[in-house]
Amino acid sequence: MTKFYNLYRQIEDKIPNGIEFFYPNYWYGFSYILKRYSHWPLPLPVVIPHGVDFGTTNICEGELKSGLPGIYCYQHFREDIYKRFGSTQLIKGASPWLYLLKMKGFKGIDEGKASGIIVFPPHSSVSIDSYIDDEISFIDKVKVLENQFGKATICFYWKDILNKRHIAFERLGYRIVTAGNMFDPYFSDHLFEILKDKKYLYTPIIGSHIFYAASMGIDIILDEELETKFIAPKEVLQKDLWQADQEILESIRLTFSSNSLLSKKEFACNFLGAKHLKSPLILFMQFLMASLKKGWIITSIKQWLDSDPGEPFINLDKLQISNWGPHDGTVSNPPNIQENGDGAFWININPGKILIDGDLYLGNNKAKVTNRNPGQLTAAFDPKIFDFSFTGELSIINSTHTKILKIGNFSTYPQNSI
């Protein structure tokens, strides 16, 4: 029971207790890594790509609309696409993962101590469920590799633990590990601890994990024979499933199918931008120069002064609603009606300086607009949803589709009944 509890405790949603303007910079602890390394105290003035990319023509709309002065690019073949569509400063950098390794003084896997194999099944995302179609054959492959290379440990992404993908392996007696929730500021630290004493990594899919492991000197066994299923609405798959250049994928396959461990490590480090790895002072100066663009540093200092220093994250059970409204209304009269006819709500949250990445929902209806400020959310809803009597739950749901907080129930009643 303790093992089960700890695993699920690790993947609980965390609310970053930070000052970043671009919320995805919190993902996987990347902003935390760069700021620890460079001693940069203010909000990061740059967008951090949240993972390794394999395309030269795709770009995330959210990154372009971040409002930050710069984009931190650590893959050289991505520079042109950012220059073409971005009006922000391009900073050539190195992956936060490489800075983490540098901070930990990691020089490479100790051949005398490293042992066993770490297995990475395909991982789901916020909006796409991913898994191996033939799970029995996948398990059989793991057993064969375990006989060759030593004890296997299975590393699951937090979403896949929520989806119970780990259960079959757990029942077979395998050790299950996870780096935690994507909002955990120590996610990458946890991943490092999982990898640091492993000699091999087996995976059926190309992803960031093979570059992180290979950069440490772990030998990669990439076997794409088994089909990975991606389950989501068609429009989501077209938008969110990475758009890779075949030439880049083939170079990856060629490299990781070779027998040279050194060539795999060099390839991974170059892919992660190792040649642009900077000293703490130089990285600090890069952030400073980006912050000076259009006076961004003034906005950053104001945000920093208004922050509430402490732990880098807050667990959901520590959040409390101090007040909210309206609580009810009448049919065809949107609550707290706005100039454009929308119905609106406000929610005050403790701790008062926490900024929550989430949208307000009334039942299954997502707010047209959710405004997020420290300690407060306001949101506007389409007036049509108030045209009939109903009682609906008002809640905050974040970008990972997790219900962060239940606010309370809102009701509309027939006119003249209140």
- The chain-wide mean pLDDT, for the chain, equals 88
At 310 the pLDDT is 66
Domains (range + CATH), the chain = 2-7+100-262 (3.40.50), 20-98+277-305 (no CATH), 319-413 (2.60.40.10)
Distance, in Å, from the CA atom of 15 to the CA atom of 184, rounded to the nearest integer, reads: 8
SS3 1: coil
205, with CB counted inside 10 A (0-12, 13-18, 19+), is: middle
At 121 the pLDDT is 94
Per-residue pLDDT tens digits for 121-130: 998 887 788 8
Place of tokens 């395309």: 55
Helix, strand and coil percent figures for the chain, each rounded to 5: 35, 25, 40
227, with CB counted inside 10 A (0-12, 13-18, 19+), is: exposed
Helices (H), 173-220: 187-195, 208-215
Q: What percent of the chain has pLDDT over 90?
A: 56
Residue 204 pLDDT greater than 60, yes or no: yes
The pTM for the full model equals 0.85
Residue 5 pLDDT greater than 80, yes or no: no
SS3 203: strand
Residue 356 pLDDT greater than 90, yes or no: no
At 349 the pLDDT is 86
Residue 284 pLDDT greater than 90, yes or no: yes
Paired tokens of 334: 């949107």
SS3 300: helix
